[in-house]
Amino acid sequence: MDELIAAVRSLKEIDKGLRANVGTFFILECTLSQLKNITKMMHENQKEWYLHIDLVKGLKEEEAAMEYLAREIKPTGIITTRKSLIPIARAYSLRTILRFFAIDSVSLRNIVRTAQEVRPDCVEVLPGIVPKVIARLHEQLEPIGIKIITGGLVDQLSEVQGVMAAGAHAVSVGNTDLWKNLQLTRTSE
């Protein structure tokens, strides 16, 4: 998984990410009828991609849907806010990202407790502009092998650098200008 993840909501945004040579995509919104086209784009360009299963219009979040995704669509993995979907996705060899919203200290405790309970491959913590929260979660989740992805409200390179320094494994970003800027930064290093 790349450090920069393109968080996309349309085929047009996917195309922009492909042109910016982004390696990892979070498909945050689509319809069931778009999945074949998205699959073709991702596989032809050899991209790692994760489908936010809760936000696919026309797909019900249940085991039959997970089987369909794993056998026919073949994303790298899924993103969900529903902890019950994590073991189902794992049974179909899909990587798992459990998405959380960090709004207070109680939610931070719940993130750790839930991650320890269901063991996703990664947790995604929103909003993505709070290095202090990322550092606190990193201390508790890194020892048990759960990586942190952060996203939401990230629109500055300094914000990406701050959360990465705090322990984030990757940052999902919807700002297409930032994709280009980070790509330029990576190629000049």
Residues in a beta bridge with 56: 30
At residue 189, the pLDDT reads 46
- What class has domain 4-188? alpha beta
Q: What CA–CA distance (Å, rounded) separates 59 from 25? A: 20
At residue 183, the pLDDT reads 52
Under a CB-based contact definition with an 8 Å cutoff, are residues 184 and 19 in contact?
Answer: no
Cβ partners under 8 Å of residue 119, min gap 6: 86, 144, 146
pTM for this one? 0.88
Under a CB-based contact definition with an 8 Å cutoff, are residues 89 and 76 in contact?
Answer: no
Could you give the residue ranges of the DSSP H alpha helices within 55-149? 63-68, 85-91, 105-118, 131-141
Helix (H) or strand (E) holding 147: strand 147-151
Residue type, 82: R
At residue 182, the pLDDT reads 63
What residues of the chain score a pLDDT lower than 50?
Answer: 184-189
